[in-house]
Amino acid sequence: MSAILMRPDRPPFAAGDVLGGTEAEKAAAFGSSSAFGGRWEIVGDEIVHHLEVTTFPNWVGTDQPRRFDLTDTHLTLYPPPMLMEGRLRRARVHCERIVPPTSAAARPNVSGDQPSGG
């Protein structure tokens, strides 16, 4: 599994250079996003992420347990308190399942009529 979390108001780099950016732009980009990926498993009442890659170097190769709530439409993760900007803080990650709208072309023909055409 992989996740990329970011603020919706992140400004673009002025020069548009993927590997460039000023030191201030790079710091702002790092501070407004987080990404990680790796295997996961359910252990008791927690999901445990076995992180293989992450933008926060201290978490590479670690196991990150999270309490969670799961419904048909939502997943909410409750990480343990984390040190953020010098203070222990609590966070919550809330995800909602997006169901694509159905279109007439995607619906099955239930009337028994055969489509015309050749």
* Domain residue limits at 26: 2-96
> For residue 108, is it within any domain?
no
> For residue 47, is it within any domain?
yes
Query: Could you tell me if 48 and 64 are in contact, meaning their C-beta atoms sit under 8 angstroms apart?
Result: yes
Angle at alpha carbon of residue 51, lines to 22 and 91, rounded to 5°: 75
pLDDT in tens, 10-28: 999 999 898 899 999 999 9
> For residue 114, is it within any domain?
no
Which tokens is 85 given?
Answer: 């900007």
> For residue 28, is it within any domain?
yes
d(C-alpha 31, C-alpha 25), whole Å: 10
Domain count, the chain: 1
> Quick count: other Cβ atoms within 10 Å of Cβ 65?
14
pLDDT in tens, 57-80: 999 999 999 999 999 999 999 999
> For residue 39, is it within any domain?
yes
> For residue 115, is it within any domain?
no
pTM of the complete model? 0.73
Residue 45 dihedral angles phi and psi, to the nearest 5°: -105, 25
- The helix or strand, by DSSP H or E, that contains position 62, with its residue range, turns out to be none
